[in-house]
Structure 1
């Protein structure tokens, strides 16, 4: 049995720069995900909250940024007890917009962690659906 990896892709009616801005700018992240305390930048730690000025929901570090094409985070949420996972974002130009793909790896394996994997899967699904509102 392999470790779980979440993979999702959506087609968005927005150009790659607009999608990139929504992935990296604090003021825009809250429109589809959790608000960031500051813009995301290469090599910097980030914190996402449950609302403007709210409690920390998830956090990590931006490990790699290739503007408008690719970004990789170390990433954790409270139920992971500080264990870091990896989130990779890929943006590809598509006719009429952008294909945005997400891969979330390093997730807990085994029956004990499966509930968290299901919750993250559902969460990413909902967050990416919100991207259609760009």
Structure 2
């Protein structure tokens, strides 16, 4: 079986310390992704809540933070009901460049999804693109 992974690279016109806040702080996550139940902490669990009208505050995604090296690297597990709680992994790398940050996401672990893993990965690929369009706006 081919190992599937989603790899996204963004060029953001903000320093890594600024971008880091949007990956780890509950209120900043809400500006481009989903509201966090709490700020991310290394070794800690996290939840992300839906921002959808009428469903505000419902748990949408969850996982645990495996590694935090501010403001260079963040690794966490990621799951939700759509993939039946199967654990995937997101690795974020922030690289400082002259006028901003190169942010790379590697989202892997799709082999843990029992059924329809290709469709699940493809759906997340599109979803990340939609969320990243907002991340570009709020960080710049």
- In the TM superposition, what are the counterparts of 1:112-131 in structure 2 within 5 Å? 112-131=116-135
Q: What is the aligned partner in structure 1 of residue 31 from structure 2?
A: 31
Give the unaligned 5+ runs of structure 2. Answer: none
Once the two structures are TM-superposed, the CA of residue 112 in structure 1 deviates from its matched residue by: 2.4
Q: How far apart are the structure 2 equivalents of 1:27 and 1:111?
A: 33
Once the two structures are TM-superposed, the CA of residue 37 in structure 1 deviates from its matched residue by: 0.7
Q: How far apart are the structure 2 equivalents of 1:110 and 1:3?
A: 14
- In the TM superposition, what are the counterparts of 1:52-91 in structure 2 within 5 Å? 53-91=56-94
Q: Tell me: CA distance 1:58–1:110, structure 2 relative to 1, closer, same or farther (3 Å).
A: closer
Q: What is the aligned partner in structure 1 of residue 46 from structure 2?
A: 46
**Displacement over 3 Å in runs of 4+:** 108-111
Number of positions where the alignment pairs a residue of Structure 1 with one of Structure 2: 134
TM-score by length of 1: 0.93
- In the TM superposition, what are the counterparts of 1:86-125 in structure 2 within 5 Å? 86-108=89-111, 112-125=116-129
